[in-house]
Amino acid sequence: MVWSDVVRAVYPGRFQPVHLGHVEVIKWALDRVDELIVAVGTAQESHTIVNPFTAGERVLMLKLAIAEFGLDLSRVYIIPVPDILMNFVWPSYVQLYVPKFKYGVARNPLVVRLFKEAGYDVLIPPPYERGRYSSTKIRRLMVAGDESWRSYVPSSVARFIDEIDGVKRMKEVLGSD
């Protein structure tokens, strides 16, 4: 295979934490392209209530989830990308960090528009129960001590969060235990 013939897409997100909706989007995208780049955004931030996990932890969560669902990890790049606070140039900035790609994968209207304005085609995945699979919702459940958060993430991700004491970290960041 000639590398220039490989059709790639980039799927950006914060993945705080990785949930079953993310896994569905990854599966969906892999059905449409040869390779998928998962761009782990806001890579520079961690240990906050909005971004509690480090870029490295999120990379590992993604790898665990991909393996758990039997997806071909050799077709997936997982690359941390720090923020840039200039929306218009964001797609070009992402291109500095990742292999060449043809498609953006997104549902977020701003991200879709930015990809299109930069000349990329956009693959828009189905919503996969967006109200149910929300990292914000999952973090709120974790902080509230509601164990139902585990049903929204791959079991490998739940075990990993337990191993790193992720729920305790979030509670301490909030100042509650």
Q: 109-147, pLDDT tens digit by residue? A: 999 999 999 999 999 999 888 778 999 999 999 999 999
- 105-119, pLDDT tens digit by residue? 999 999 999 999 999
Predicted TM-score (pTM) of this structure: 0.94
CB atoms within 10 A of CB 159: 13
3-174 adopts what CATH topology?
Rossmann fold (3.40.50)
**Predicted confidence band of residue 4 (pLDDT cuts 50, 70, 90):** confident
Which residue in 52, 51, 73 sits closest to 62, CA to CA? 73
- 28-85, pLDDT tens digit by residue? 999 999 999 999 999 999 999 999 999 999 999 999 999 999 999 999 999 999 999 8
Edge to edge, the sheet with strand 35-40 lists 76-80, 35-40, 8-13, 103-105, 121-123
